Amino acid sequence: MAAFRPDPPRSITPAAPPSDAPRGVAAPVSRVIEAFRRLPGIGPKSAQRLAYHLVRMPEAEAAELSEAITGVKQRIKLCDICADITEEPVCGICSNTNRDRTVICVVEEPLDVTALERTRAYNGLYHVLHGAISPTSGIAASDLKIKELLQRLQGQKPSEEVSEVIVATNTNLDGEATAMYLQRAIAPAGIKVTRLARGLPSGTDIEYADDATLAHSLESRSEISD
Amino acid sequence: MSPPRRRYFNAEGIVVRARDLGEADRIVILLTPDRGLISAVARGARRTRSRTGGHVDLLRHITAHISEGRSDLHVISQVETVNAYLPLRNDLDRLTLASHFAEISERFSLQNAANLHLFALLRDSLTYAESTPKPILPLLRLWHETTLLTTVGLQPQLHRCVRTNTEIPPGDHWFSPSEGGLIKRPDQADTNTSPDPIAFNHPENTPIILAPLNTIKLLRHITRTPNWGRLEGLRVDARDVAGGSRVMGAMLRYQQERGVGRAERVMGEVSS
């Protein structure tokens, strides 16, 4: 079973009061402030506000939050098939027999699965890469779940033969690099590789669209039907 | 007392690095001709309806109206694309090569230090990478790396021995990345084996590299040819280009004080 990649161990017990914590703050509170500071999008002020909110919180609620945080790290793992985050060895989507098993949508992150599922427009399976090839950040194909995807495509049952792989990576440079790599790796197997359409988002002003978006919009233009 | 007025400036630059910030923002590092590297936040750039998002992707030549930050981090208020280098985005080999150009240009640039030549070299190299035939891309890479080192004042010494200051006669010799040039091969040395470590290795223990005659000739020709257009049509043996790349790659790595670059690592997997 694929284990969820743990974060490198980091102590959150500071030897001295952390610089972000205000002076005179009790050590347990400054420890919580320091822990919150490590979360994405949380600055020192937000970390302090959250920490003091915790101090005022009823003990039962605080215990529930604490249990939820430890639970998420202990219970979740990666799906053996698609590498999405799940509690079971195989996630709900992969084990659902009503899903179309001939189409796989490749996404960068588990959150992308949630976004695509919200549309209710897709009934196939997924494969989560856990990142994108990034020449500027030094993230190569071997750092992602690409090998697992290729193995999955090779080892498929004849009755569930995949006919199409939809590459739904982001439309930035890293996403494009990943899409091109996947196309290069999968196409020789005779499987159709498609890319999500790129163009103008709903409600946008054309004058603010960048050249690449406009060029893709022109390429993917469609006839107006009655 | 009225609050201090925000100061704005206009900048032209190429996005050489970008990273996500918070919910939907993006920090971009621009290589500009008149300010060197500048960092700026594009607020909401990752939202689908953002007016800036499409313009501040990597490897884009842009002009931006920027609000000066209190620290070195500014805020982009308006942005337009000058060149999106679209052909690079449709070809993985060109894309990774262009990323390598951007990475080494950033490594040799400083914040708030104008370097028009470095900016122009990156801008031109990205343009050349769009249309240069694929078999010639390794030569373009070698030209870019050699010209970049020359631009930042680190042109390799290819005519005189860096140890003895004597002229390099025609033949195979050695190249020392740490000393920045050729080492004349003693007549008795065999070029197929490493030279005597005591006599040849630099105190910093940077390995020296074999530089065959044709590689030396090619590198000399490139340093004399700042114009890619005059080099593009040159018929060069792929082995000589590979030899030149080994020499320049080692010098770049030594000067950057690090191992294989980020884009180089991806390039290795893409081309294998």
In sequence order, the 6+-apart residues with CB closer than 8 A to the CB of B98 are B59, B85, B88, B125, B126, B129
| Chain A hits for B102, Cβ within 8 Å | 136
The reply to whether B60 falls in a domain is: yes
Domain enclosing residue B73, as ranges? 8-86+262-271
Residues A170-225: tens digit of each pLDDT = 988 899 999 999 999 998 988 999 999 888 877 778 887 778 788 888 888 888 87
Same domain membership, residue A41 and residue A119: no
The reply to whether A200 falls in a domain is: yes
In B, minimum Cα distance to A170 occurs at: B46
Most confident of A206-220, B110-124, B222-236: B110-124
A143-147, long-range: CB < 8 A, 24+ apart: A144/A178, A145/A83, A146/A181, A146/A182, A146/A185
pTM confidence score:
0.81
What ipTM was assigned to the predicted interfaces of this complex? Answer: 0.79
**Domain harbouring B266, CATH code:** 2.40.50.140
The reply to whether B176 falls in a domain is: no
Average pLDDT over residues A148-161: 83
**Domain harbouring A41, CATH code:** 1.10.8.420
Choose, out of B93, B266, B271, the residue to mutate when testing the contact with A (most A CBs < 10 Å). B266
In sequence order, the 6+-apart residues with CB closer than 8 A to the CB of B83 are B60, B61, B123, B126, B127
How many independent structural domains does chain A possess?
Answer: 2
The reply to whether A50 falls in a domain is: yes
Distance from C-alpha of B119 to C-alpha of B15, rounded to nearest angstrom: 11
| Chain B hits for A200, Cβ within 8 Å | none
Please report the pLDDT score of residue A15 as a whole number. 45
Same domain membership, residue A34 and residue A68: yes
The reply to whether B57 falls in a domain is: yes
Give B214→chain A minimum CA distance, Å: 31
User: Is the pLDDT assigned to residue A2 strictly greater than 60?
Assistant: no
| Chain A hits for B48, Cβ within 8 Å | 201
The reply to whether B18 falls in a domain is: yes
Same domain membership, residue A102 and residue A142: yes
Same domain membership, residue A93 and residue A129: yes
Same domain membership, residue A148 and residue A36: no
How many independent structural domains does chain B possess?
Answer: 1
CB contact under 8 A, B89 and A134: no
Same domain membership, residue A98 and residue A60: no
Distance from C-alpha of B135 to C-alpha of B89, rounded to nearest angstrom: 18
The reply to whether A32 falls in a domain is: yes
Choose, out of B47, B51, B57, B267, the residue to mutate when testing the contact with A (most A CBs < 10 Å). B57
Q: Render B176-241 in DSSP notation, one character per residue.
A: ETTTTEEEPPPTT--TTSPPPHHHHS-TT-PPPEEE-HHHHHHHHHHHT---HHHHHT----HHHH
**Domain harbouring A147, CATH code:** 3.40.1360.10
Ramachandran quadrant class, A135 (left: phi over 0; alpha: psi -120 to 50; beta: rest): alpha
B59 with A173: CB under 8 angstroms? Answer: yes
Distance from C-alpha of A178 to C-alpha of B67, rounded to nearest angstrom: 34
User: Is the pLDDT assigned to residue A3 strictly greater than 90?
Assistant: no
Same domain membership, residue A217 and residue A120: yes
Closest CB to B58: pick one of A173, A203, A210.
A173
| Chain A hits for B23, Cβ within 8 Å | 41
Domain enclosing residue A48, as ranges? 27-75
Closest CB to A176: pick one of B48, B81, B89.
B89
Residues B150-207: tens digit of each pLDDT = 999 999 999 999 888 889 999 899 999 888 899 988 764 444 555 554 445 555 566 8
The reply to whether A8 falls in a domain is: no
